[in-house]
Amino acid sequence: MAADASPKAAPPRLNVPPAMAGGLRLDPAVASPARLLLDVPKTPSPSKTTYSDRFIPCRSSSRLHNFALLDRASPGSGDDAPYSRLLRAEIFGPDSPSPAPSSPNTNLFRFKTDHPSPKSPFAAAAATAGQLDCTAGSAESSTPRKPPRKVPKTPHKVLDAPSLQDDFYLNLVDWSSQNMLAVGLGNCVYLWSASNSKVTKLCDLGPRDSVCAVHWTREGSYLAIGTGLGDVQIWDSSRCKRIRNMGGHQTRTGVLAWSSRILSSGSRDKNILQHDIRVPSDYISKFTGHRSEVCGLKWSHDDRELASGGNDNQLLVWNQRSQQPVLRLTEHTAAVKAIAWSPHQQGLLASGGGTADRCIRFWNTVNGNMLNSVDTGSQVCNLAWCKNVNELVSTHGYSQNQIMVWKYPSMSKVATLTGHTLRVLYLAMSPDGQTIVTGAGDETLRFWNIFPSMKTQAPVRDIGLWSFSRSHIR
């Protein structure tokens, strides 16, 4: 009875398997009031965590289904379905997802993309749109790229141009809107018709003078000629008659540029004169800003701005409201002869530097910022923008004397053409925008078909490039 009244020994508190519990003997402590107080059951404090001898992770927070760990069906899954559910609940927790029926998976750690069910119709729409975008992108990538446009590597024709000077600062070739080519040879100016290959001698300045520049009006009826003595002459090409002679420069006039009404002339005397043939005076205003010879002049297509380049490495931009330049761009490190305004974007100006610079630079004349710069590797002699496509052509000097066609704004090379044996100092474009003519000190004129036709215009009229007589071909 005394033994029955004594308290029973407390069971062992180690967390061990039942099979091992019988092999462990723990001697109970002697019963005492203090011991009995310790054996009174207590509600565990929520702030304390009871630890056992093993760590068993919580499977409910694991995403093992992402690694295909839950996709395996146990053998005989049809007969042992209750057992499988019970086993899954014991191992992975009661909240573990049920496996979806799938094909046997031999790659244990194959990663699977988790696609949560959308909580709103907007999420479902976004997922669908993403799938459509991926499909569209793959369709575009599978579309074959358009092959690059082929540019003939040889000129259509090569004409003799005896006495064509090898002088970087002169501008001796221009092509009119009426399909007439003007060329200054020595002290004479010749006109060549691209329609019938007829050659006409327009004028002879005499032994004491020389031709330094030629430039057609935009209508193509009148030709301006800059002379070695500093004069500017206006000739009527249809009658081969001089209608005006204007002075003002102290030395040779090497560059000319027409706007709709004003003729600008640049000279070795560093000045730019503005001529208006409607008034009797030789010039109406003078622009002074260059510190050396002016060798490049171009009016913008809207007649608002005049760009000038000089042997002082400066590119200046002027307007009619001021006799001081509104922009002074000094990034070039050599003479700036090559200047071209974009016909596709207002305020976009391209310029090219000489031997020590070799770069084509692009400018936003609205704010004066330089947009881009490309090192061509050789002296830039001329620039011209195509009106049919957003491309431009540049001509170069030593050492390759090449002609380069560029795609803008990427400035990727479309073609590189060679054939001249000296610097390609002269460049003009046909009125249809497809053909250019280049001239050099090797005394040749070469015609190249480098640009496509304008897509929106009527079929291009034959300009007679195939009708040269053999006596003019070299």
What own/partner pairs with CB < 8 Å and gap ≥ 24 does 312-320 have? 313/353, 313/357, 314/289, 314/290, 315/339, 315/351, 315/363, 316/289, 316/290, 317/349, 317/365, 318/272, 318/287, 318/289, 320/262
* Cα–Cα–Cα angle for 166, 301, 295, rounded to 5 degrees: 25
Predicted confidence at residue 115, as pLDDT, reads 47
Q: What is the pLDDT along the chain (474 residues), one digit of tens a residue?
A: 444 444 444 554 555 556 555 554 544 444 444 443 334 444 555 555 555 556 666 655 555 555 555 445 444 445 567 877 888 777 877 776 666 555 554 444 444 444 444 444 444 444 444 443 433 444 444 566 777 789 999 999 999 999 999 999 999 999 999 999 999 999 999 999 999 999 999 999 999 999 999 999 999 999 999 999 999 999 999 999 999 999 999 999 999 999 999 999 999 999 999 999 999 999 999 999 999 999 999 999 999 999 999 999 999 999 988 889 999 999 999 999 999 999 999 999 999 999 999 999 999 999 999 999 999 999 999 999 999 999 999 999 988 999 999 999 999 999 999 999 999 999 999 999 999 999 999 999 999 999 999 875 444 343 333 333 333 333
Distance CA(214)–CA(254), nearest Å, equals 9
Q: Is 347 exposed, middle or buried (0-12, 13-18, 19+ CB in 10 A)?
A: middle
Q: What's the pLDDT score for residue 19?
A: 57
Neighbours of 406 (CB within 10 A): 22
Give residue 54's pLDDT. 61
Q: CA dist 8 to 4, 19, 20, 29, 37, Å?
A: 9, 22, 21, 11, 14
**In whole angstroms, what is the distance from residue 288 CA to residue 452 CA?**
40
For 114, residues 6+ apart whose C-beta sits below 8 A from its C-beta are 63, 66
Element (H, E) at 375: strand 369-375
What pLDDT sits at residue 243? 96
CA distance 310 to 290: 6
What is the torsion angle, in degrees rounded to the nearest 10, for the CA atoms of residue 308, residue 290, residue 378 and residue 214? Answer: 50
